[in-house]
Every structure is written in structure tokens, then in C-alpha cells.
Copies of this chain bind each other. A is one copy, B any other.
Amino acid sequence: MENANRDLLVIGGHEFSSRLLTGTGKFSSKRLIAPMLAASGSSMITVALRRVDPGAAREENILSHIPDSVTLLPNTSGAGTAEEAVRIARIAREAGCGNFIKIEVIPDMLYLLPDNHETLKATEILAKEGFIVLPYVLPDPVVSRQLHDAGAAAVMPLGSPIGTNRGLEQQPMIERIIETAKLPVIIDAGIGQPSQAAQAMEMGADAVLVNTAIATSENPVMAGRAFSLAVQAGRMAWLARTGLREKYARASSPLTGFLT
């Protein structure tokens, strides 16, 4: 157990006690965010710059619902090109949101899929400016290596399109990224059930980001706790190397000679 406790996530030189990243979107009330963070233990949360309004009243300002102990991960939601993403990132830093930035460049309004090449371009520019860059991409092992060379601090491949709760549709390419990337791999988007979060960790992912499935459940605080436990479970399983698949059955109880 102690090994697991010291098993920290490290991104851009910063240590995080939890491998569950969360988000601020889609909650029926902003007041659910703080108790969800407390129940889940999540230590990093993403927020769209658009939602950050420093001049707003305390209740309306989303930042007032996030404890200081939780690291802010502003994202470039709304950007359709590298240039737009770069502009949003700079504004976020000037607004006091810190050096972390999640790059989202989404030109596709049907499936909300990212443009990997524009994301790569923005990564290169922002990494040179000292940002800790976490690019959100369609899983592509070739692009993942290019992101490393461009200075990314982690890679965030999607499990399935955002908000679909379809889980690890992209498992084959994610596995190949985990095998070859020299960066932390954070699965982001599409994770709809704790089992899927656990599965990502069992495959060797370094962390997962879950937003929609927590925020839109009937009980976001309990859901946050559920995903937190699942991420821990999956990580422990990976550390303890459980579950090699077998083709044929193997008895767990003795099958012969029982009453000799």
C-alpha cells in the first residue's frame, strides 16, 4: 500500500497526489464543484478560459469554487486554429491562471474532434514561451512523438469523442502511444464509467481526465468518489501486475481426490 501512496503523477516537474483530473463543465450548479473535488481527491481541474471572469461576483466566478490546493488547468476551448489557441493561452496566463495549459483545437463541430497538426503547432509555440503544455489529440503514435519533440509536458489522447461516454474506443492506438511515448499519457474524453477509467490505468496510462460522466450523473459527488476509487484500483492493479489472460481454465480449488 505504501508504494502506491508514494506513486505520484509528475507533469512538468510538478507532483500530483491524484491521477484523476476533473473538469468544470456541465455541472447543474457550480456549488457541486467543491464537494466533488473533496470527494474525489482530484488535484488538477480544467476550466475553459471563457468561464473565467475575474470581475464577476464571487458566486458566479468559477475560480472561487476551486480550492487553492487544486491546480488549475486552463484550456483553449473555442479555438479552431493554432493561432487562436496560442492567443487564449497567453490571455489565461496574464489573467493569473498559471503556466499549465491544455490545448484544444477543434474545427469539427459534429464530432468535436481535434486537429492534431494545428495542436502540434500551438504546442511548439507555447512550450517555447515557458508554458507547461498538455495537448489534447486524436490518438496517433506518430503525432505523439512529434509532440514530445515540440516540448509537450504530457499527451492527452481521447478515449472516444467528448461527451459520448463510449470509453476506450481508441484502445489500440492508445496502447501503442503508451508503449512508445516518452511523456505521461493522460486519457481525456469519452470515459463514461469507472470501469473504463480503471481499464485505462490497467493499460498503463498515467492519469485520466473525467468531466461529463461526473458532472451529468444523478449524484456528481458520489460519481467523483467512484471515479477516484476506480483510478486508484486500476493503478494498483498495474503495479501489482494482476490478470494475465489465459486461454484455458485453471482451477482455483482442488478438483480431484476430495474424499479419499
Contacts and interface: CB of A to CB of B under 8 A. Distances in A.
Given A161-B248, A229-B230, A242-B223, A254 B166 contact: no
A180 interface: yes
B252 A26 contact: yes
Nearest to A220: B240
Interface string A139-175: 0111100000000000000001111111001101100
A127 to B, nearest CB: 18
A81 interface: no
Interface in A207-231: 211-223, 225-230
Interface stretch (A11-19, A63-71, A93-101, A105-113): A105-113
A234 interface: yes
A39 B172 CA distance: 33
Nearest to A226: B236
B242 A193 contact: yes
A88 interface: yes
Contacts of A242: 165, 192-194, 213-214, 216-217, 223, 226
24 contacts: A23-B252, A25-B253, A78-B257, A88-B258, A110-B249, A111-B176, A112-B251, A116-B117, A117-B120, A138-B140, A161-B248, A162-B250, A163-B249, A193-B243, A194-B230, A194-B234, A194-B237, A195-B202, A198-B233, A211-B252, A215-B252, A217-B240, A228-B233, A230-B233
Interface of A: 1, 3-4, 23, 25-26, 39, 46, 48-51, 75, 77-79, 87-88, 91, 104, 106-117, 120, 138, 140-143, 160-166, 169-170, 172-173, 176, 180, 192-196, 198-199, 202, 211-223, 225-230, 232-234, 236-237, 239-259
Given A23-B252, A194-B233, 18 more contacts: A1-B39, A3-B222, A75-B253, A77-B258, A107-B142, A112-B255, A170-B172, A192-B242, A194-B230, A194-B236, A218-B240, A223-B240, A225-B236, A226-B237, A226-B240, A229-B229, A229-B232, A233-B233
Q: Which 8 A-B pairs have the closest CB atoms?
A: A163-B250, A78-B258, A192-B243, A77-B253, A25-B252, A226-B236, A195-B198, A48-B253
